[in-house]
Structure 1
Amino acid sequence: MLRDKLMNMLNEREEEMISLRRHFHEYPEISFQEKETSAFIARFYEGKEVEVHTHVGNGYGIVVTIKGKNPGKTIALRADFDALKIEEQTGLPFASKNPGVMHACGHDGHTAYLLVLADCLIRLKDEWDGTVKIVHQHAEEQAPAGAKSIVDSGLLDDVDEIYGIHFYPDYETGTIFYTSGYAYAGCSDINVHIQGTGGHGSAPHKANDVIVAASSFVMNLQTIASRRINPYDMAVVTIGSFEGVGSSNVIKDNLILRGDARYMDLEVGKVIEEHFHRIGRGLAEMYDVKVDIEYNSDYPPLYNHPEQTAKAIAVLEKEGIGDYLDTVVAVPANTGAEDFGQYLLKIPGAFLNVGARPEQAEVFDNHHPKFDINEKSLLVAAKAVGDITLAALLAK
Structure 2
Amino acid sequence: MNGGRLSAGLLEEAGRLHESLVRLRRTIHRHPEGGFAEFETAALVEKTLAGLGIPSFRVAGTGVVGRLEGTRKEPAVGLRADMDALELDERTGASYASEVPGLMHACGHDAHTAMLLGAAMLLAERKESLEGTVVFLFQPAEETIGGARPMIDAGVLENPRVEAVFGLHVGIGLPCGKIAVSPGTVHAASDMFDITVTGKGCHGAYPHEGVDALVAAGHVLCALQAVVSRGIDPLEPAVVTIGTIRGGSARNVVAESARMQGILRTLSPEVRGLARETIKVVSERTAEAFGARAEVSFQEGYPCLENDPEMAALVRETGSLLLGEENVHDLSKPSMGVEDFAYFSRERPSAFFTLGAGNPAKGIIHPAHSPWFDLDEDALPVGAAMLAAVAANFLQGR
TM > 0.5: yes
Give the SS at the match of 1:132. strand
**Structure 2 counterpart of 1:37, which letter?**
T
Please tell me the root mean square deviation across aligned C-alpha atoms, in Å: 2.1
CA distance in 1, matches of 2:113, 2:364: 25
Distance 1:296 1:237, change over 3 A: same
CA distance in 2, matches of 1:294, 1:31: 24
Taking structure 2 as the reference length, the TM-score comes to 0.92
Q: Note if contact 1:178-1:352 (Cα within 8 Å) is conserved in structure 2.
A: yes
Distance 1:288 1:52, change over 3 A: farther
- Measured against aligned partners, the alpha-carbon deviations of 1:151-171 in whole angstroms (never above 9, x if no partner) come to 222221422111111112221
**Structure 2 counterpart of 1:153, which letter?**
A
Q: Note if contact 2:214-2:248 (Cα within 8 Å) is conserved in structure 1.
A: no
CA distance in 2, matches of 1:35, 1:80: 13
Taking structure 1 as the reference length, the TM-score comes to 0.92
CA distance in 2, matches of 1:160, 1:22: 33
Aligned match of 1:98:
100
CA distance in 2, matches of 1:370, 1:126: 43
- Measured against aligned partners, the alpha-carbon deviations of 1:319-369 in whole angstroms (never above 9, x if no partner) come to 3218xx744344211222211112111211111111111342461111111
- Measured against aligned partners, the alpha-carbon deviations of 1:4-37 in whole angstroms (never above 9, x if no partner) come to 4644542322211010001001111122322221
CA distance in 2, matches of 1:154, 1:277: 36
Q: Any unmatched runs of 5+ in structure 2? A: none
Q: Any unmatched runs of 5+ in structure 1? A: none
What fraction of aligned residue pairs are identical, expressed as a percent? 32
Q: What are the equivalent positions in structure 2 for 1:100-119 lying under 5 Å apart?
A: 100-119=102-121
Aligned match of 1:364:
366
- Select 2:323's aligned residue among 320, 323, 332: 320
Give the SS at the match of 2:175. coil
Instruction: Give the Å deviation of 1:181.
Output: 0.9
Q: Note if contact 1:6-1:121 (Cα within 8 Å) is conserved in structure 2.
A: no
**Structure 2 counterpart of 1:344, which letter?**
S
- Measured against aligned partners, the alpha-carbon deviations of 1:111-153 in whole angstroms (never above 9, x if no partner) come to 00111211332332222111111110111111x2112222222
Instruction: Give the Å deviation of 1:287.
Output: 4.2
- Select 1:75's aligned residue among 71, 74, 77: 77
- Measured against aligned partners, the alpha-carbon deviations of 1:215-254 in whole angstroms (never above 9, x if no partner) come to 1221222232123322211011110111135433311112
Aligned match of 1:146:
147
Aligned match of 2:165:
162
Distance 1:296 1:44, change over 3 A: same
Distance 1:48 1:378, change over 3 A: closer
Distance 1:101 1:224, change over 3 A: same
Q: Is it true that 1:42 corresponds to 2:43 in the alignment?
A: no
Distance 1:119 1:27, change over 3 A: same
Aligned match of 1:182:
185
- Select 1:65's aligned residue among 64, 67, 80: 67
Distance 1:5 1:316, change over 3 A: closer
Q: What are the equivalent positions in structure 2 for 1:1-396 lying under 5 Å apart?
A: 2-4=6-8, 6-46=10-50, 48-54=52-58, 56-57=59-60, 59-142=61-144, 144-157=145-158, 158-244=161-247, 246-283=249-286, 285-321=288-324, 326-358=327-359, 359-361=361-363, 363-396=365-398
Q: Note if contact 2:364-2:375 (Cα within 8 Å) is conserved in structure 1.
A: no
Pairs aligned (count): 391
